[in-house]
Structure 1
C-alpha cells in the first residue's frame, strides 16, 4: 500500500532564526528535498523573497514543485548538485545571494518510497544514486571494487570498525553470485560482524549503507567543493546554514567555517534538535546545524 511521505524539515525554527529571511531577499536551498525549508523561507520573505532550489534527485524535485506551487514565480528549480551552485548562479546572471541553506540529509521520499536502496528495510535494488543519470550504482561498486577498496570505503566513509571483515565477506559472496539487492547486503553484514560487536542503538548495516551512499554520490567531495566557494556565493553579512547528519560531514563543515578568513562563526557549537522535535521526528536526533556569516568588505 502506497503512502504519501510526511516531510518534516529538521531544525526548522533554528534555521529560520539564523537565516532570517527578508522580503525581497534571494536565497539558495542547496538540497531542496520536498521543499519543507524553502516553503517557510518563501513564507517569511513574502511577498518579494525568492528561492533557487537545487536537487539532483528528479523525484524529489517533482514533489517540491507540487509542494511549492503556491509560490509560483518566486522559485527557480534546478536539477543540479549543490557543488555546482556558483556555476548555476553565473548562468542565471546572479552575482551573490542573501543566504544559503544546505540540508545534507536524505528526504523521507528517498528513504521510504524511492525504491533505490537507501534503506535496509525490506528488499530493494542496490542503486543508491541520488541522480539516476549517474553511471555507477551501489551494486556496480560492490561487484567491481577490490577487497581493499571496499574496506577503505566502509572504514573511511562509514567509520566501520569491521570494514575489512565485511569487505572479505562481500568478495566471497560475489564470487558465487553478483550483489543486487539490499537484503543481500544486510545478510552479508550480519554474517560478517560477530554478534558481540553489533551496535546497540543502530542496525549493524547502517554504517555500510552510509559509506556506500557517500561513495556512489561523491557526497564529501561535493560538500568540500561548495564549502570552498560559499564566500563567493553569499553577500557580505549573509548567512550560510549547514545541517549535517553524521560526524564526517560535521567535521568538514566545522573545519571549513573555522579556517576560512572570509567567514565569521555565528554558532560557536553545533545546534541540535530539542527533545520535543526528536520525539516528533526521530530523524532529527543526529542533525547538527552550524552557521557562519560572510564578513563585510
Structure 2
C-alpha cells in the first residue's frame, strides 16, 4: 500500500458536495496532509467557508460553486482548475441527496431530482475529468455510492437505482481506465453520523416517514461511524486500490450473504418487510 502523496506528488483534489458531512471531512483530512483541495458546492458562502478552513489546516483551499447536474458549470470548474493548478489528480464525486418512500408514492420530481444529482452528477464529473487523466496516464476517481446500491432494500427505489448506477459506472471505469493507470474506488457506506437526513428533511424528503428510512435514520443516529471515520476509511481504501469500499463490517457481511444466496436473501427481506420485522419494525 502506497500513500496517495507518493502516487500524486502534486496533491490536487476536487471534491463535490464538500461543504457538509463526508465531503467536508475528507477535505479537512486531505488538507492536514498538505493537499490542494477544490471545494465545490451549491452555496458559495459555504464553499468559501470550507475552503478557508482547508487553508487554515495546512492545505490550499479553492472554493468554486458547482451544481453537479449542470454540464456548463463542470466546464467552468474545469477551466478554473486548469488555470489555477494545471488540473487535478483525484476526483471525488460525493454530492448527493437522499430519499425514502414506497415506489407508488414517488412522483416524477422525486425520480428526476435523485437521478440528476446522484447519477448524472457523477457521470458529468467522470466525463469531464477522465479525458485529462487518460492523456496524463495518471489519476484516481472516488465515486460515493451507498450500500443501498448493493442491497436495494424496499422503500428506496429511486435512491437504490441512482446508487446502483454509480456502482455500475465505477465497475466499468475500473476496467476501462486501468490501461491508463487510473484507479477507481466506489464508496458504499450505510448510514453514518452526518447531516444527510437533516438535509433531506430540509429539502422536503422526510426519510424517517418510511420503515426503511427509519432504519437508515437509526444508523445515522446510533452508528459508530462518523463523517470523519468514513473519510479516513475512504483514503485508506484508495491507497489500497480497492474498487469496493464498505466501511461498516456488518454490511460487508450482509452483502456477502446476498451474493451467496440472492433468491433466499430477497425472499427473507420481503417477508421481514411484509411483517414489519427486523430492520423494518415500527
Per the shorter chain, which TM-score range? 0.3 to 0.5
Who wins on radius of gyration, i.e. which is larger?
1
Give the structure-2-normalised TM-score: 0.47
Bigger share in helix: 2
